[in-house]
């Protein structure tokens, strides 16, 4: 199973790209109903490492009611000579002052769909998240002036001058999380654009430690953007944007995020303890628990003169020393039994499967091991991510996020507290660390398991960087292609 580690980072990269692709929806040749004219329309090619992987579109209609913003983004990747399409689309209604009122976000992938409809009112974003298994309500507190990232950029780009800067609260539909977006016009430069040579403004944006550079023409057109993970977006025409090839291999995307340490680990699964130093971190904070202990950090300056941190981390293989009956384990952490739009542990189908697997078992650890092994044996390992646990249960295939969401849903449905975690794991086939997801269960103490790799207790190369659902992904994106690892001690 170590060879399959190459696909582990796919879910994180896809969600990161969804965030970068502006949340666009289908185009219309005429203004939307109730709006009298088109204020803005743009098409862009999406590139990864100078290879086209998709396109995006954005249109802003204006009228007495305010603004109506639509957009669409499409990605095309190749998996074993098969093409996989992903699309992200959005509609947003704004009042005459440009404040967000409501939105409708749709993402599709591998025949699966997830739709998020939201209304913003009195500091709360109220949503209905729909997909396989039905609809579920969700809420997020937000500042009254919260908006979507691409809408904040649109208004900021309309009147630029060197030195202009703002920091604004933004809501990212794909991750269902509120954050702050900082925009700063740092200078100008001459650049060849679709209209010829133009003087453009250089705008630096920053969110959660991720920096993006955008080149904006005097009329507010975004002519080029260079962003996370080797992504770039270049202004083009509709005809050129919608011309798509078979797409680049997914392995090209995944290998981009591989972290090769200073020396290989010949037998990672046999390790009882591993100490590594992680350099290039934007923050010295590394998650700590019974299995993982960060040490004293040091500060450095990167090539751009920005402060970074190096943190030593010791990870041990930790099996439970004692266990609890399921009822007691559940009573200890009821919050870790709550369903989410991605982990539908209260779904009847999920509950039935959980009972079929471990219905008669009363010991929490023994039941958890049965569920973990069932997911490992019954879910096919493929380079395909899924939105929800129900999607995985129906398709019986997916990668680490798919395995983890289903396992957590089954654990919780059987009454065992569980949560989604993610970070790094060592791939012997690639001789480096890749991004990965796995569950943790509470059986008297928190224990990390891995249903993707079939490990009852995860090996010492599982380095936890985040925990939680899709809202936690943004915290992981800041590390991709920025950190390095040194092996200090392996035993």
pLDDT at 81: 62
189 and 321 fall within a common domain = no
Q: Which residue range is the domain that position 340 belongs to?
A: 292-304+314-490
**What H or E segment, with its residue span, contains residue 403?**
helix 400-413
pLDDT at 215: 97
Question: Cβ(8)–Cβ(422) under 8 Å?
Answer: no
Q: Could you give the number of structural domains in the chain?
A: 2
Give the model's confidence band at 17: pLDDT under 50 very low, under 70 low, under 90 confident, else very high.
low
215 and 298 fall within a common domain = no
pLDDT at 169: 97
Q: Is the pLDDT of residue 28 over 60?
A: no
Question: Cβ(76)–Cβ(54) under 8 Å?
Answer: yes
182 and 240 fall within a common domain = yes
63 and 152 fall within a common domain = yes
What pLDDT, in 10s, does the model give residues 301-326? Answer: 877 677 899 999 999 999 999 999 99
Residue 266 within a domain? no
Question: Cβ(461)–Cβ(433) under 8 Å?
Answer: yes
Round the average pLDDT of the chain to a whole number and report it: 88
Reported pTM = 0.88
Residue 257 within a domain? no
Q: Is the pLDDT of residue 26 over 60?
A: no
Residue 280 within a domain? no
What pLDDT, in 10s, does the model give residues 199-237? Answer: 999 999 998 777 899 999 999 999 999 987 778 999 999
Q: Is the pLDDT of residue 239 over 80?
A: yes
**CA-CA distance, 248 to 438, in Å (whole number)?**
27
Q: Is the pLDDT of residue 299 over 80?
A: yes
User: Any idea what the CATH number is for the domain that residue 371 is in?
Assistant: 3.10.620.30
129 and 69 fall within a common domain = yes
Question: Cβ(462)–Cβ(453) under 8 Å?
Answer: no
Q: Is the pLDDT of residue 297 over 60?
A: yes
What pLDDT, in 10s, does the model give residues 435-491? Answer: 899 999 999 999 999 999 999 999 999 999 999 888 787 777 777 778 999 999 999
pLDDT at 298: 96
Selection from 80, 24, 56 nearest residue 397 by Cα: 80
Residue 272 within a domain? no
Residue 426 within a domain? yes
- Give the chain's end-to-end CA distance (angstroms, integer): 22
Place of tokens 């923050």: 283
24 and 129 fall within a common domain = yes
**CA-CA distance, 390 to 341, in Å (whole number)?**
10
pLDDT at 4: 44
pLDDT at 48: 84
104 and 212 fall within a common domain = yes
173 and 27 fall within a common domain = yes
HSE (side-chain half, CA atoms, 13 Å) at 16: 28
Residue 263 within a domain? no
**CA-CA distance, 53 to 315, in Å (whole number)?**
37
Residue 100 within a domain? yes
Q: Is the pLDDT of residue 367 over 70?
A: yes
* Range scoring the smallest mean pLDDT among 72-86, 218-232, 333-347, 386-400: 72-86
83 and 228 fall within a common domain = yes
Question: Cβ(420)–Cβ(437) under 8 Å?
Answer: yes
What pLDDT, in 10s, does the model give residues 36-75? Answer: 889 999 999 988 888 888 899 999 999 999 999 998 988 8
Mean pLDDT of 138-142: 95
pLDDT at 110: 73
Mean pLDDT: which of 62-71, 242-251, 406-415 is highest? 406-415
Residue 231 within a domain? yes
Task: Tell me whether strands 397-398 and 380-381 are parallel, antiparallel or unpaired.
Answer: parallel
Strand partners, 91: 70, 104
HSE (side-chain half, CA atoms, 13 Å) at 435: 26
165 and 93 fall within a common domain = yes
Q: Is the pLDDT of residue 96 over 50?
A: yes
Angstrom CA distances, 349 to 295, 386, 393, stand at 44, 17, 9
pLDDT at 390: 96
Q: Is the pLDDT of residue 16 over 60?
A: no
**CA-CA distance, 158 to 70, in Å (whole number)?**
18
161 and 300 fall within a common domain = no
Give the model's confidence band at 253: pLDDT under 50 very low, under 70 low, under 90 confident, else very high.
low
């Amino acid at each position: 199973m170590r060879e399959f580690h190459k696909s582990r980072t796919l879910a994180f990269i896809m969600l990161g790209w969804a965030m970068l692709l502006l949340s666009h929806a289908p185009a219309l040749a005429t203004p939307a109903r109730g709006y009298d004219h088109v204020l803005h329309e743009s098409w862009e090619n999406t590139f990864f490492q100078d290879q086209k992987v998709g396109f995006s579109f954005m249109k802003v209609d204006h009228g007495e009611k305010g603004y109506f913003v639509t957009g669409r983004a499409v990605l095309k990747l190749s998996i074993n000579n098969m093409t996989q399409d992903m699309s992200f689309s959005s509609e947003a209604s704004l009042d005459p002052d440009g404040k967000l009122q409501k939105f409708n976000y749709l993402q599709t992938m591998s025949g699966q769909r997830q739709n998020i409809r939201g209304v913003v009112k009195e500091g709360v974003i109220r949503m209905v998240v729909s997909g396989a298994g039905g609809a579920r309500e969700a809420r997020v507190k937000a500042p009254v002036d919260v908006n979507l990232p691409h809408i904040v950029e649109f208004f900021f780009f309309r009147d630029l001058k060197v030195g202009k800067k703002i920091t604004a609260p933004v809501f990212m539909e794909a991750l269902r999380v509120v954050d702050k977006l900082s925009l700063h016009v740092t200078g100008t430069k001459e650049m060849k654009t679709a209209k010829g040579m133009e003087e453009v403004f250089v705008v630096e944006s920053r969110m959660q430690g991720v920096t993006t550079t955008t080149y904006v023409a005097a009329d507010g057109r975004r002519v080029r953007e260079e962003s996370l993970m080797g992504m770039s977006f270049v202004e083009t025409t509709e005809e050129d944007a919608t011309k798509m090839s078979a797409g680049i291999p997914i392995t090209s995307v995944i290998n981009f995020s591989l972290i090769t340490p200073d020396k290989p680990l010949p037998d990672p699964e046999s390790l009882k303890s591993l100490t590594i130093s992680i350099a290039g971190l934007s923050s010295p904070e590394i998650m700590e628990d019974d299995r993982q202990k960060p040490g004293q950090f040091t500060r450095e300056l990167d090539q751009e003169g920005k402060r970074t941190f190096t943190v030593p981390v010791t990870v041990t293989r930790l099996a439970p020393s004692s266990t609890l009956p399921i009822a007691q384990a559940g009573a200890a952490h009821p919050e870790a039994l709550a369903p989410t739009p991605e982990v539908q542990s209260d779904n009847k189908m999920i509950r039935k499967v959980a009972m079929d697997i471990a219905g008669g078992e009363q010991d929490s650890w023994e039941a958890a091991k049965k569920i973990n092994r069932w997911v490992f044996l019954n879910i096919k390992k493929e380079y395909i991510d899924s939105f929800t646990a129900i999607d995985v249960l129906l398709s019986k295939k997916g990668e680490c996020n798919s395995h983890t969401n289903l396992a957590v849903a089954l654990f919780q449905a059987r009454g065992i507290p569980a949560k989604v975690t993610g970070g790094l794991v060592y791939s012997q086939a690639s001789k480096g660390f890749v991004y990965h997801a796995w569950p943790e269960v509470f059986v008297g103490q928190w224990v990390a398991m891995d249903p993707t790799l079939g490990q009852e207790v995860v090996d010492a190369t599982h380095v936890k960087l985040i925990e939680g659902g899709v809202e936690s992904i943004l915290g992981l994106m800041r590390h991709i292609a920025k950190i390095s690892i040194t092996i200090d001690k392996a035993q």
